[in-house]
Amino acid sequence: MGKPTGFKEFERALPKKAPVANRKKTYNEFVQPYSDDELNRQAARCMNCGIPFCHSGCPLGNVIPEFNDAVYDGKWEDAYRILVSTNNFPEFTGRICPAPCESACVLGINRSPVAIEEIEKHIIEIAYKREYVKARPTHLKTGKRVAVVGSGPAGLAAAAQLIRVGHEVTVYERDDKPGGLLRYGIPDFKLEKWVIDRRIKVMEEEGVVFRCNAEVGKNVPASELQTYDAVVLAGGSTIPRNLNIPGRELNGVHFAMEFLKQQNKRVGNSAFEEADILATGKNVLVIGGGDTGSDCVGTSNRHGAKSVTQFELMPQPPKGRTEAMPWPTYPMLLKTTTSHEEGCERHWSIATKEFIGDDKGNLKAARIVDLEWERDSLGRPVKFSEVPGSEREIPCELVTLAMGFLHPQHEGLLEQLGVERDERGNVRAQEGEYQTSTARVFAAGDMRRGQSLVVWAISEGRECARKVDEYLMGYSELESKDAVFDYA
């Protein structure tokens, strides 16, 4: 434990952010680093709990008290070594993870939790500066070849692990650059793309081969996968939930990903064929109250929207924990993101009934209605009805539908491979095993578990790699997240 009285002496503090007016002018990240003293104080708040609930809150099983301690003592190489023993890409999670570890932090019972995510980001950025992060190609060669389909965090984590134990790894990616939703979903103002390029370079130096513009099941036949000893399917959950109401076909109604992907391509100077989707000068309506919706809000404000409104079907979540979400569970609380801070009207318990267009087929308004929710004994919303007489129209010229994703694309890759799917349409493979119904074929990340988080994708990629390694070699030296680490 760094400083036994740290948690009593210091309050949680997050790094400063650039002023809203400045950050809306660019797509750059705007969270500034801690000063050295502040980083030390934040690490000092960790109590090195006898039972560190932060560990179990983290899907990767990050060894948090140990790296907090190393940061407090300024032992940067130790901190880095401990951090990457469970997480291949802390530079991603340190920027965009919703930090379930912090929700589980013991200090969070009656104080603000330790700023674990920021500490993680500082460790990895310091490690890059000090050149601790470098390619470590293995001399061991097993002669086994593995194909990874999809280069999001799940595919990248699987590839990074498999190359370490001497397999030959090729990653197929249908987009022009690797990264999955890290590159073409999450906006640059949350994660600048040089952060991905920097990591891809290390992986390439270790021997991972990336084949971009290669969609397996389309311009690369799925039969090519038969030439590999094992295959990891990590194609994500890419089919968005639609809102099939009158007027859906109007110009100006788009899936969130059409809007966000195009903007990330614009920032990254990547070509796209579709017509521009711009919020500039428009009243924007974002339908869906989650992270994807929030990213549409931030992007619309950077385009220079006239107004930005976000609707959510569910009622407004509580500001603090309730009986239904006790510590240390991950609570579904009201979340005000940095994008919301930049300007957005938010409304809950609203359903959209129709999109209304002008005589040229362009969207001009949405007809909406208020909802009333019935709740169960724990206060959870269970059933809604429309509030009589509350129907009204609101002007909007751009709508983005951010209501989540249903399942992976079936057409092409999955149909050609003939892998079994579960009742939700995801690839069927048991958690912890990752083996699909087809021999030699494994699945990880959103393609298997459904729409989730980057931290879960990395966790599944790592665990799946271990299962692939066991399948190929009969044993594996790759760490399991359940392993006990000894850093004494």
Summarize as ranges the residues that interact with ligand SF4 (CB under 6 A): 46-49, 52-54, 64-65, 68, 105-107, 114, 116
Residue 53 interacts, among ligand SF4, ligand FAD, none and using kind-specific CB cut-offs from 5 to 8 Å, with ligand SF4
What span, in angstroms and rounded, lies between the C-alpha atoms of 121 and 34? 10
Binder to ligand FAD among 118, 120, 446, 463 (CB under 6 A)? 446
Tokens of 175: 């987009």
CB of residue 213 to ligand FAD, shortest distance in Å: 9
Region binding ligand FAD by CB under 6 A among candidate stretches 25-33, 152-160, 265-273, 343-351 = 152-160
Q: How far apart are CA 360 and CA 49, in angstroms?
A: 64
Mode of pairing for the β-strands spanning 209-211 and 441-443: unpaired
Among ligand FAD, ligand SF4, none, the one that 116 touches (CB under a kind-dependent 5 to 8 A) is ligand SF4
**Cβ at position 313, least distance to ligand FAD in Å:** 18
- Residue 94 touches ligand FAD, criterion: CB under 6 A: no
d(CA 449, CA 464): 12
Distance CA 430, CA 444 (A): 10
Q: How many residues contact ligand FAD, by CB under 6 A?
A: 38
Nearer to ligand SF4, 51 or 271 (CB): 51
- Least Å distance, CB 328 to ligand SF4, is 8
**Residue 145 near residue 168, CB atoms below 8 Å:** yes
Residue matched to tokens 């570890």: 101
Closest to ligand FAD by CB, 97 vs 351, is 97
**Which x/- pattern, by CB under 6 A, does the window 41-80 give for ligand FAD?**
----------------------------------------
CA torsion, points 80, 81, 83, 85, in degrees to nearest 10?
A: 160
Any contact of residue 235 with ligand FAD (CB under 6 A)? yes
CA 377 – CA 12 distance, rounded (Å)? 34
Q: Work out which of 180, 247, 268, 298 binds ligand FAD, going by CB under 6 A.
A: 180
CA distances from 274 to 261, 263, 271, 363, 396 (A): 11, 12, 10, 18, 21
**What CA–CA distance (Å, rounded) separates 350 from 368?**
7
CA quadruple 384, 389, 390, 395: dihedral sign = positive
CA 174 to chain centre: 19
Decide whether 42 or 299 has the Cβ nearer to ligand FAD. 299
Nearer to ligand SF4, 39 or 427 (CB): 39
Residue 114: name its binding partner from ligand FAD, ligand SF4, none (Cβ under 5 to 8 Å by kind). ligand SF4
Residues that bind ligand FAD (CB under 6 A): 96-97, 149-155, 172-175, 180-181, 185-186, 190, 215-217, 234-236, 260, 291-292, 295, 412-413, 445-447, 452-455, 457
